[in-house]
Amino acid sequence: DTGVSQDPRHKITKRGQNVTFRCDPISEHNRLYWYRQTLGQGPEFLTYFQNEAQLEKSRLLSDRFSAERPKGSFSTLEIQRTEQGDSAMYLCASSPELRGRAGMEQYFGPGTRLTVT
């Protein structure tokens, strides 16, 4: 029973560099979500995919952020020209196909902690 995995777990980068994170969802979960969490706050929604289609993006997702989910399996989140304000925990979650009120629960990975110096 494999859960959501994320790689890397920690990333330290210098301001202005590009970073890319990977998320592998639970097998057969067709929906995948990205969230960002800063200290003292709950996770904030960034974007979500149903299969390979990106269906919603938050206003938090500036032009420097891009997410992909090729072939509807794993997903990547790239941040270009990182800024110190990007320092946060980036969480990925997945959920199965929505059938009525079943499938609402999202299952989270351990997160990638990004530190921009």
Partner 1 sequence: DQQVKQNSPSLSVQEGRISILNCDYTNSMFDYFLWYKKYPAEGPTFLISISSIKDKNEDGRFTVFLNKSAKHLSLHIVPSQPGDSAVYFCAASPYGNKLVFGAGTILRVKS
In the complex with partner 1, the residue whose CB is nearer, 72 or 80, is 72
Min dist. Cβ of residue 81 to partner 1 (A): 26
Distance CA 23, CA 53 (A): 16
In the complex with partner 1, the residue whose CB is nearer, 79 or 93, is 93
What is the number of H-type helices and E-type strands within the chain? 0, 11
List of E strands, the chain: 5-7, 10-13, 19-24, 31-37, 44-50, 53-57, 65-68, 75-79, 88-95, 107-108, 112-116
Asked whether 52 and 31 are in contact (CB, 8 A), the reply is no
DSSP at 102: B
In the complex with partner 1, the residue whose CB is nearer, 21 or 35, is 35
Min dist. Cβ of residue 107 to partner 1 (A): 6
Distance CA 74, CA 25 (A): 6
Min dist. Cβ of residue 15 to partner 1 (A): 25
Binding site for partner 1 (CB under 8 A): 4, 33, 35, 40-45, 48, 55-56, 58, 91, 93, 98, 101, 103-111
In the complex with partner 1, the residue whose CB is nearer, 21 or 48, is 48
Min dist. Cβ of residue 63 to partner 1 (A): 20
